């Protein structure tokens, strides 16, 4: 994690340089503000990663002599047959279309988002997958 913290901190230095250059050259407040907020976000992430790296064990990317296989292993559990992301995607699409075309579409998107979210959370508590 140490290298990721350094990368984000160097990225924040670059973003700050771009923000100052853009602010002086373009004299446009919205873009300058956006770049300054991106700088703040990069500093927060970089500081968190650098701060956390002191409290966790060294990872393979922190070792210059590490092989690719040193980080091999299980990355997590991912449901291979879930239909819930489709429901969330359709509900999210309708919600964003509601911003464009009319807020009345939120009446159709909110139930789809809730069904998808609750179905995803409780997917392994009922039905054929309840014992997994």
- pLDDT tens digits along 80-127: 788 899 999 999 999 999 999 999 999 999 999 999 999 888 888 876
* Distance of alpha carbon 66 from alpha carbon 131, whole angstroms: 39
CB 38 within 8 A of CB 30: no
CB 11 within 8 A of CB 49: no
pLDDT grade for 44, boundaries at 50, 70 and 90 = very high
User: What is the pLDDT at residue 31?
Assistant: 96
Instruction: Tell me: pLDDT of 35 over 70.
Output: yes
Instruction: Tell me: pLDDT of 24 over 70.
Output: yes
User: What is the pLDDT at residue 53?
Assistant: 84
């Amino acid at each position: 994690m140490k290298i990721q913290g350094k990368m984000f901190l160097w990225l924040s230095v670059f973003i700050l340089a771009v923000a100052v250059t853009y602010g002086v050259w373009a004299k446009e407040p919205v873009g300058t503000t956006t770049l300054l907020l991106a700088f703040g976000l990069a500093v927060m992430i970089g500081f968190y990663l650098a701060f956390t790296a002191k409290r966790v064990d060294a990872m393979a990317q922190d070792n210059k002599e590490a092989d690719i296989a040193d980080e091999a292993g299980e990355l997590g559990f991912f449901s291979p047959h879930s239909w819930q992301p489709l429901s969330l995607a359709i509900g999210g699409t309708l919600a964003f279309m509601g911003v464009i075309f009319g807020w009345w579409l939120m009446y159709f998107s909110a139930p789809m988002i809730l069904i998808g979210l609750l179905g995803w959370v409780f997917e392994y508590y009922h039905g054929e997958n309840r014992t997994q």
